[in-house]
Chain A
Amino acid sequence: MYSLSQKLADIIHHDHQLLPILNRFGIRLGFGDQSANDVCKSLDINAEFFIEILNTYHDPDYFPRERFLDFPLPLIVEYLKKTHLYYYTFYIPEIENQLNTLIASAPGANNLSLLTRFYLKFKQELHEHLEYEDKFTFPYVLNLHTLYLQGSAITNPELLPVRSIIEFEEEHSDVDSKLLDFKNIIIKYLQADYDDNKCNTLITTLFNFEDDLRDHSRIEDKIMVPKVLQIEKLLFPS
């Protein structure tokens, strides 16, 4: 467990997997000996939120639900959006590149092209999920939050096209299980004359992506959705 008084550099030395999380908060390397708290201050980042996110990412068993529920929705949504952006710009193209490199390392192994098919299918599903959240779920959540801040119960529910987050946030299990299958097919069932190192690189990336996605979905399912449900109850007394 990390604390705000620790040097950010020490934290990264201890767990470098946290680097992308720093970037999502707009932190770049070169922060010298500054504490996590000082770095956050200088960049106007909510330090408490930052450290909780860091700790949950570092330790999959740590998830301070109650504490997270205290943070305002826009802060949470902002982080989720940044995470999506990271998937679009890094993980998705990166996995594709590594897969293509792997396939190129074994010309003539046509069972590898099956993997590409499967990956494209997974990518399409993931894209649809992320895009839907960016286009509909997050704006709905932010709108609702604004209405909530204005403090009055909605007398005219038609103001909002949809009345529950339940209709927006679909299950994460489909995307999750495809990623798991993808890994398992490579690890257990794929036999081809490919370059081992290239395959290891791809698998490592897949494991990292899986961890990241799990953490992301957990924040959506266990923090964002319950918080929104609470507000909906207040705004739409049935």
Chain B
Amino acid sequence: MNTRILIIHQSAIVAEGLQRLLQNSSLQLHDHLRMFNDPADITIHSGSNYIFITTSALFQSLYKMQLINFSESGYRFIQCITDPATSRDNLCLEAIYLDDSQNQVIEKVRNTINSFHPDKNAVISSLTDRETEVLKLVSLGNASKEIADKLNISTHTVITHRKNITEKLGIKSISGLTVYAILNKIIDTDELSIDDLI
């Protein structure tokens, strides 16, 4: 699931500055970073995680209810505090201050992104036994339906496994997965011709 970051701030300097800073970071946000003046302009796409970086004023505004709703939907808030006298609202996981360094800002955003995937920071690369089995069958050229039949599980489950495999390994294409499987001796190429597989 991708994470979208929306910056809602009436100060163009702050909003543009934040956008620049995050875009030039290693967070790989691509076009998932947007600026808004008015929260009413926001469209929420289902299937995405949202992080709102907002001005303090928003938490005392008419929009407070909407923010609470967003928060109950699992979306995260980072409060951008320009006036040192203001304190962080309870809805917010993190607060960014005007005198934060670039690294501090990025770290706070990264923490917030990671809060969507609590186990993502742990070692994720190793496949489970089931995933290895599925990977093996994929590499041997089986379609999801065939894999489901062979393993006696639903096609839907197979698709979920395949998604997780791709996410863990960073490999999407079938030929790419096959190369991985051969490199890691998940399939035995002694009896098979590599040319048929890839």
Contacts and interface: CB of A to CB of B under 8 A. Distances in A.
Given A114-B183, A189-B180, A177 B172 contact: yes
B180 A121 contact: no
Interface residues of A, number: 20
Contacts, number: 55
A190 interface: yes
B183 A181 contact: no
B198 interface: yes
Contacts of A185: 171, 176, 179-180, 183
A121 B198 CA distance: 7
A118 B173 CA distance: 10
Q: Which of A122, A177, A181, A190 has the most CB of B within 10 A?
A: A181
A180 interface: yes
A36 to B, nearest CB: 25
B17 interface: no
B74 interface: no
Interface in A142-186: 174, 177-178, 180-182, 184-185
Contact of B179 (A115, A177, A180): A115
A181 B198 contact: no
Contacts of B173: 174, 177-178, 181
B184 A118 contact: no
Contact of A117 (B170, B171, B198): B198
A184 B23 contact: no
B82 to A, nearest CB: 25
Interface string A119-139: 001100000000000000000
Contacts of B184: 189
A190 B183 contact: yes
A206 B12 CA distance: 37
Contacts of B170: 180-181, 184, 188
Contacts of B180: 185, 189
A53 B182 CA distance: 42
B194 interface: yes
A180 B177 CA distance: 12
Nearest to A192: B183
B10 interface: no
B175 interface: yes
Contacts of A113: 194
A180 B198 contact: no
B183 A178 contact: no
Given A178-B175, A181-B179, 4 more contacts: A114-B182, A118-B179, A121-B175, A180-B170
Top 6 A-B pairs ranked by shortest CB distance?
A181-B176, A177-B172, A117-B198, A184-B170, A181-B171, A178-B173
